[in-house]
Structures are given as structure tokens and as C-alpha cells.
Structure 1
């Protein structure tokens, strides 16, 4: 089936033997001469292509003949200096260290809305000499900046300051000093140590002196002596705040609890090993996942919200890295990357009769009408979500593979799983497994996508497409030679069942982003094959913010992907390397675009149906793939 996240990484090809009837399309819809060498192209979640050049950044909207923005204020930017904020239309660009260790070195920050092309914040024009932190806050749609601003008298120019900007109106909401300008006495370090927490009534800033709470007009509220906090989370009432402090060596994280009045609510902080990658406040307590990166091992803890003490007498043994973590009505379900699934009640009791043994790399954990379906690189099964009992008599096992494809055939009430050239059919009621078909793809590829189309089964890989009838017979198989076996990068392989919202089309969320997801918890178990529901969730999420740019993103996610009925693949044509548009139902090539480049650099927007091709060092072509 179709998977937007996987398909967005398209670097691959397809061409058909009888492509002579295909529509030639060598004239681009638009040509963009950027006037400087292009170093990178990034397709954003909002559908704008952002090119990094020797001069700066350029935004391209294929519906416009000229770039939507050009940002050359800071000159050439490295990837490390360009941050695409996940689930938003914003880019934060940075130069300089941006911390108390920067000394007198100047630090620069800017925030760009890549959809409307506006530079919302520029530290240069707003007279900031040093920037400690620069954080986008969603869904409030605010920007919080801390640092040293070159305004006011000589004392004010030396005193750390915080400013809050409204991203929709592009105006300053309020600002305040973190210390009294000109204060006499021993110098104190008020540099900001982490991400401020914006609440309905006030703002909390973590500093080297402790936590400072300010009203939205900048008036003082309270101070707390907890120092070095990196990030914070509040409960729904905003009366209980949790602060996370990573130790200097990064081996441990200390968790603090603070009241809305600044009082420390726990007698002692709670220490967990490693970095906290997942944290969720539940009615029964606090769920915490921490990762010991070097050891590739995670720990799961469940803490009392009132005292911070462990509610579980014995923490579950993970014996590996927590790859999946889901909160359900009766407990916590988790899957381990090295293999294994278990479920623990909120009072620490094992809900599964025994830990479920699985193969390594759990690609899928999802709800199905029969129970929890899991698919790994070695096996697959459905188990009862309450007990962990197998629904299928025994797991489906296959040779360890990096690519597995699957889908559900509703007409025959069966699951279809393709692994290592074999396709298996599993009856959803009985769990009986049968060998459905074999598919041999050229270049030793295996299928990494599978979807039902009008009762037939479509399969594809980087250079192969095939269609099977509902009885397993092959209706067609077409192979398209890769441009270069040595220089061509194959597509990332993986399972194709639970489609993502597409939010990772251009940027994966940072590790641990789910701990403070601006749109609510991401620890809900998805439904198998329910990609339509996921896309609607993304659209509603963006629409709720109300800003015009988010509205455009919402509209984009309500649209049907242009690639629903076609696959675009890079291949070797008679006239050179090119991209072809292949009809999934017929296997015929509907369009081909000759790129005449052995190793072309390009991006495909599969929602809008646009090919962006770097034609030469300075130029990008945009082709319409829909017609």
C-alpha cells in the first residue's frame, strides 16, 4: 500500500519496455536561475522547495515563476546552521555558538516563514548582539528569544534579556530583562540554559541561576533555585510543571517537579539513566522512557506524580532499545528494537502471560480487528492485546530481510505479506497461512511497497513494478534498469502498511520530540492501513492554529496525493537518464522526463505532483508530473 513517508524519499526509477507511446515532457513548467551555486535542495512539509546556495537560502513554489523568498543576509549556510522546525512552516537559521560560552563573539539568528516568504525575525535588524536561545513555540505560534540586545543604556546593553514575538503578526509581544540592569554586587550568570515554557498566564525561563517566572507583560512572578533545566512540560491544568536537567556528562537526567507558584513539589528530584526520550503525564502516574545511547538500551519507569517515587516495584527488563511505546487504557505497550513485545499495567503487573518473542527490528505495531499486528524483519503475527496470546497459530517466519511489504485485502478478509520474494496470504479469522505467490524482481530487489488496487495486488521496489491477480497470478511485471549500479542510491526499504501523516516528508522530528509534542501525545497505537485518518489528523492539527500559512499546510494534507495512481522512477532511457511516470494499474509509462545526467539531483513532491531537478550549478527546473 501507499506510504507517504517512504515514498517521499523517492530516489528511484521505473521505465517500461514500450515507453515509445509515453508522453515526452522535456520542457519544464518553470525555470529558476538562483544566481549562485546550489548546494542542497530540501522539500519541505509545506510543499515549498528550499535551496541552499553559496549566497544563502531560496524558496521555490512551483505555482510561481519566481522564488517566494531569497535570504542572503547571513551568506552561505551549512546544514547545521539551517533548522526546519517540524510540523511548521518555519526555518531557523543560525550563525555563532549562541551560548554563555560564546564570549564576546557575535551570534546571529533569523526565522523565515518559507510559505509566505517573510523573514519574521532577524537578530541583526532587531539589534541582538548575542543569542542564547531561539525557540518556536507551537501551537501558540510564538517565538521566544533570549540573549543580549544592543538597546538602551550601557547597563541594559550588557544585561540578558528575553523577548516574545507573535509569529502571525510578526510583532513583538513583550520583552524583559533577566537581571536588574546596573545591579551592584557579585556578577551572576543569567544565561538561558534550555527551552522556555510558555503557559496561558506566564512564562518560565530556565537560567543558570534557576527558574524565573514572568507574566506575559514581563512582570516578575517567582524564582526557583533549580538550575540548569533543559526543557519543561506542564500538565493540562498548568499547575504542575516538570523540569528535565541533563547532567554534564549526559549519562543521567534529573526530573524536578515545580508548582505554578514556584514551589518544589518533590522532596528530592528523580534521577533516571540516560536521556529522557519519552515522557507522558497520565492519571495513574508519569511514564518515562530514557535511552542509554552508547549501550543502545532503554529503561522504562512509572513514577508517582505526587512524590516522584517508583510505582513499579520492579521495572520491566527491556534488554534493548525501546523502538515502540504506546499508552493504552489498561497499561503501557512497548516493543524492543532487538526483538520482543510486552505490556505492563499501570500498577506494574505484566499483562501478557509472558513477554512475546519476536524477530529484530519491529517495523510495524498496529491495531487490527483481530488484535495487535506486528511485522519484523524476520516474522509476523497477530496477538491478543489483553493477554499477548497468539491469534495466528504460529508466527509467519521468513528469511531476515531489510524490506517487507504488507497490506490487508478486505474483499477476502486476509493479510498479504511480501518478504524475500515470497508472498504469503494469512486468513484474518483462522490465521491459516498459505503461500500466495512468488515474485522475482531484477537487480536482486525485493518488494517494499504493496497495495490493493481494484481487487488486484500492486507491488513495487526501486526498479520493478508488478501486478498480481487476486489468485496470485502475475498480470504484469516491468523492470527498469537503474542508471548506475555503482553511483545510484537505492530507496530506503521498510514496511508499507501504516502510512504516516507525511510530516516527515522532508524532515524527521528530532529525537525525543514526542515528549513535548505541541499537538498532543504521539503515543497512541495507530490502526493498520488507516493512512486516510492520519492525514486528516495532520490537516486538522494545522487548521487549528488559524494562521494563514498553517491553513495552506492543512489544505495540502487534505489533498489527494498526485502519485496515488502513478509511481515515479529514475531509469536509463535511450536519450539518457530520466524519470518516468508509470501507471500502477497498467504498468504503462504515461510520461518520461529526460534529465541527461548520470547522477541527477532531484526531489519529487508526491502530493502536488512536481519534479524539481537541479539542471546545473545555478538552475532548478520544475516539471508538472500530473498531466
Structure 2
């Protein structure tokens, strides 16, 4: 009888869902933005502002403002590669013309936009820069370092490479200096900038084709080093020891130099050469951990090149001498996908499968390398040990010995995504794969089939949450809720209007979860790698709140109103945390439905009047941005 009543009640809720949905179809947009030019691309930023690329340039849309907060048409239409959104910042760097190094042909233009303030902070044309070699955002100092040629009324100055440092909060120039003496007699030398400058407390280090040049904040030359063609540098915590990375063998290998901040003198008797391109570099009390990636050689034809995989190498060097501290480096036989610094050593996981842990003295800490499935999606701390989840299996292992905690790993068919969470009330891990949810007792490791979860369109579940009423599971088109005993509370499916019409949904959780990746990738690309401290800390499982707080704290540690805005945004609870948005075909056309996670009820329907709609959803702020036609953007408030 209870089951019958429950079924009837669910049916009533679903009927209400349909009725409520139809009542919402005529909803008008909250704001309309006619941009006056063809829209080519839309990008939802981490700040919740939509940046639109048009045939005229860029426009920024803040959904609660009736007009764009900025338009930038100075450079005309921009190609996608000419617009660089600096990860986890309010900045966009716009580039036209040749990029990087010295370019004697054609004019190069750069601009930096603060999309939160809606303000152009730097425009090379306005400031008479005729050539730009490099243009780098420096954090946490919140500065912009530019190098190139700047037009001047003074004789000879327009032909001499120059470096300028700008404050990104105010947009004002802090100081500038020439890399060579204007009007110097003799053979001209190439002083082009070869990589990313390093901003220290009282100086800036500039890597050039003639070597590294250190200048004071007053523009006085402090010293020169003969190390040429450096691509990036990093300082230790004291700022007194500098590591410089030189690209060699056509960029396939790297030389690491160590120099002092006072005079640029070498602190190692010889530089250290490593195979491949350095992707991870961590300065530790015990030494220096280095991960480098070697590209496949492809020496025996294109077929082998296409089939070969990238190979990672791990080395541990003496900070005092640069010598290798490990007699035998650990075998990777694949690409290092996860890399974490622990109290007793280095923990790493390979994309091809496999986890190992090495002490700082080079001794293996695991009894033997742990075999896992391919593509390690999760490596995280739990009270029981290290939880790993791959596309094929899952288990918890002892972080000291590598022994498996569960008697045998949980096996399933290879999946593109595996949803999981921890049910703290019942002390169990919940993992969805192979069309079912499995419950694993946290203490014993016993596995029980919890519920069936075959989703329509053969979708793999991508998200799982513990909610007050039970366990919520979802994918792009499917949602389901199960009570804590495994009984299905509801299951809803909204058919996709076609795979080609999927919009991109930048959810709050997704944005938070990608924080570490975004900052790490920024560092690899050549930003101040020491800006945010170590990004190689193993996170606790299922702790999105911790990640959000870390992002908020990172923003609050940088001076400026825009970073203060980002910090408050990440501290706030996601505006739509109780809803999911699904693109589907409705009776009046393709639209977006807002579905309540606890009931499965459709709370809002918005017809998008397009068979292939282009849209973005800001789940943190609770807004929908919809490209209504070639020139117009609509915004809808999803919180109502």
C-alpha cells in the first residue's frame, strides 16, 4: 500500500511539474542586449560576466546591468586565439600581430581588460607601443609587465627595447627602463625578451637573447647574467635563490640554472639538463622535485607518431648542487596525471594506470607499484586512506604501504565518467557505474548493490550528491533520487534535442573543482609559478567547500576591487544549488528546464526558439545567457 501511495504521489508531483512548466513558457527575458554586430563566440567567465566576441570586437555583459559593462572595438574583429582569459583572474589579454620575442615585421598590439570593472587597463596603441615582445600578468602582485618598443620624442629611444611595469588595480605605470642604452655606439645586439619576466619584491628579472637582466624598481641595472634564451623563472620563498629554465634542442629538452638574486652568479657548478619540457617544479626542504614530459619522437613514420604516448620523467635534485639525489628514478611508463607532495615523500598517479609513492631519499614507500585502471579521475584523502577512482575500478589503499584496504578493487566497465560521493550518515562510499549504484562500507570495504540507475540515452551518471531526502544522481538529460535504503524516490528524463545542440553549463561546482587545474596550467604557461604556493597538495575527498574557500582566500589575498568581487562570489552559496538545468525539446520548441533536485519537479521552462540554441548558464550567480539572434543576447534570472 505504501508503495502504491508513493507512486501516486510521485505521479501527482510530475503532473504539477508539467503544469507549472507550461505556465512559464511565455517568460520574457530580464534584459536584452543588442550588440550591433554579428556574434561569433560567447565565454562565461569565472566572475559570472559573459564576454561576447563580435565582428566589431568584445563586449561584456553583467546580467543585472541593462547595458554592456564594456565594449572593446579598438582592434576590430578578434580571432579566438587573440583573446586570452587569464585563469582565475578578472583579466583578458587581447593580442594582435606576432606574439612573443622580437618581431621586426608588422605592428603588434596588446590590450588588457578588467571585465569585472568593465575597464581597459592597458592599450598599447594609446601608450604608443609599436612592438610588444611580451605581456604578462603577475600575481599575487597584481602587476602587468610589458616589453617591446615604445615610440618616443627622444632621439634613439624608439628603437631600444624597453620594459614597463603597470599596476593592474589602477592601470598606472609604476616604472620602466631600457634593456640597452639608447644611442649606444657599436654593433647592434638583439635584446628581445625570450620568456616571462620574474617580479621580485625590489626588482624585476628579464630574460633576453643576451642573458638575464635584473633591474631595480627605480630602473637601475643591478646585474646581468649570461644565461640566454630562458623561458621562465621561479624564486624560492626567500626570493634570494632563482631557478631559470632554458629551452634547448628545439624546445624538446630543458636546462635548469640556479642563480643568486644579488648578483646573478651561478649557485650550481653546472646547470642541470632534463629530458622534455618541465611541467611541475616543487621546491622542498629536502630538495627539488621535477616532472618533465617527453614528446613521442615519431622517428619511424607518422603512424608511430600518432600511436605513441607522451612519457613523463620524475627527478629529485639537490637544491645546493643540482645533483640527482635518487640513484634510480621511478619508472613511469606513461604520463604523470596526478602529482602530490606528502609529508614523507612524493605520490603520483599515471594516466595509463598505476599509483606509486617514493620517499624523498628515493626509496619506494609502497611494497610495489599499485596497478589501477586507466584514467585516474580521483585521488583523494579519506579517513581510511587514499581513495582512487578510475574509468575501470576503485579502491582505497594504505598511504604508507600501498596495501589495498578493500579486499579487492571495485571493478566495472570502462566509463567516461564515474559519479561518487560519501554518505557520512551511513559511513559508506557511493559509486555509480555499470548502470547501478554500489555502496561500499567505509570500515569493512564490503560492497553491496544499492540501486539500479540505467539512464536514458546510455548516459553515464556525472554527478552524485547527498541531500536531506537521500542520494541525488544526474547526467546531462537524466535525474534521479533514491532514499537511504535504495528505493527510487523519483526518476526523470528530458530527451536531448540532438547531440549537436548541447550547450556548455559552467556550474559552480565545476568552476570550484577546476580551480587548482586553472592555476596550475597558468603556472605551467609561464606565470609567476610561486604566486599561489604549492598546488600539489592532496585534497580531502568530496570537499568542494574546502576548494571554494581556497579560491576565495586566494582572491582575497590579492589587492584590488575586482579580486574582492571574485572572493565574495566564491564565498557565496551557489544561487541554483537546489536545481539542475537541462536542454530539451518542449511542446513549443527547444528550451531549458529548471528541475528541482529534491522532487524532480520542473520549476521553470524557457523556450529558446532555436533548434540549435547557443547559451551559457551561470549556476553560481543564477543566470541564463541566450544568443537570441546573430546580434542579440537575452538574460534570464533563474533564481526566481
Q: How far, CA to CA, are the matches of 1:152 and 1:327 in structure 2?
A: 53
SS in 2 for 1:426: strand
Residue pair 2:247, 2:254 contacting (<8 A) in 1 also: yes
Q: Which residue of 1 aligns with 2:621?
A: 608
Residue pair 1:466, 1:477 contacting (<8 A) in 2 also: yes
Q: How far, CA to CA, are the matches of 2:36 and 2:14 in structure 1?
A: 37
Higher relative contact order (CA 8 A, sep 6+): 1
> Superposed, which structure 2 residues align to 1:551-566 within 5 Å?
551-566=564-579
Deviation at 1:505, TM superposition (A): 11
SS in 2 for 1:541: helix
Q: How far, CA to CA, are the matches of 2:523 and 2:146 in structure 1?
A: 22
- Return 5+ residue gaps in structure 1 as ranges: 1-14
Residue pair 1:581, 1:590 contacting (<8 A) in 2 also: yes
Deviation at 1:300, TM superposition (A): 0.5
Residues 597 and 355 of structure 1, relative CA distance in 2, 3 Å threshold: same
SS in 2 for 1:238: coil
Q: Which residue of 2 aligns with 1:550?
A: 563
> Superposed, which structure 2 residues align to 1:478-517 within 5 Å?
478-485=492-499, 487-489=500-502, 500-501=512-513, 503=515, 509-510=521-522, 512=524, 516=529
Q: Which residue of 1 aligns with 2:24?
A: 24
Cα distance per residue 1:57-100 (max 9 Å; x no partner): 00011111000000000001111000011121000000011345
Deviation at 1:19, TM superposition (A): 1.8
Q: Does 211-220 or 512-521 show the bigger shift? A: 512-521
SS in 2 for 1:132: strand
> Superposed, which structure 2 residues align to 1:56-455 within 5 Å?
56-260=57-261, 261-294=263-296, 295-455=309-469
Residues 144 and 90 of structure 1, relative CA distance in 2, 3 Å threshold: same
Q: How far, CA to CA, are the matches of 2:504 and 2:125 in structure 1?
A: 41
Q: How far, CA to CA, are the matches of 2:221 and 2:462 in structure 1?
A: 57
Q: How far, CA to CA, are the matches of 2:249 and 2:517 in structure 1?
A: 34
Please identify which structure carries the higher helix content: 2
Q: Superposition RMSD on alpha carbons, in Å? A: 2.0
Q: How far, CA to CA, are the matches of 2:451 and 2:534 in structure 1?
A: 40
- Runs of 4+, deviation exceeding 6 Å: 490-493, 496-499, 504-508
Cα distance per residue 1:18-73 (max 9 Å; x no partner): 42223515300100000100100000011111000000000011111000000000
Residues 273 and 67 of structure 1, relative CA distance in 2, 3 Å threshold: same
Residues 47 and 498 of structure 1, relative CA distance in 2, 3 Å threshold: closer
Residue pair 2:293, 2:312 contacting (<8 A) in 1 also: yes
Q: Does 372-381 or 161-170 show the bigger shift? A: 161-170
Residues 540 and 501 of structure 1, relative CA distance in 2, 3 Å threshold: farther
Q: How far, CA to CA, are the matches of 2:504 and 2:128 in structure 1?
A: 45
- Return 5+ residue gaps in structure 2 as ranges: 1-12, 297-308
Q: How far, CA to CA, are the matches of 1:515 and 1:340 in structure 2?
A: 31
Deviation at 1:498, TM superposition (A): 9.9
Residues 511 and 173 of structure 1, relative CA distance in 2, 3 Å threshold: closer
TM-score (norm 2): 0.92
1:626 is aligned to 2:625: no
Deviation at 1:368, TM superposition (A): 0.5
TM-score (norm 1): 0.94
Q: How far, CA to CA, are the matches of 1:20 and 1:310 in structure 2?
A: 70
Residue pair 2:515, 2:547 contacting (<8 A) in 1 also: no
Deviation at 1:101, TM superposition (A): 4.9
Deviation at 1:104, TM superposition (A): 3.3
Residues 292 and 511 of structure 1, relative CA distance in 2, 3 Å threshold: farther
Residues 515 and 270 of structure 1, relative CA distance in 2, 3 Å threshold: farther
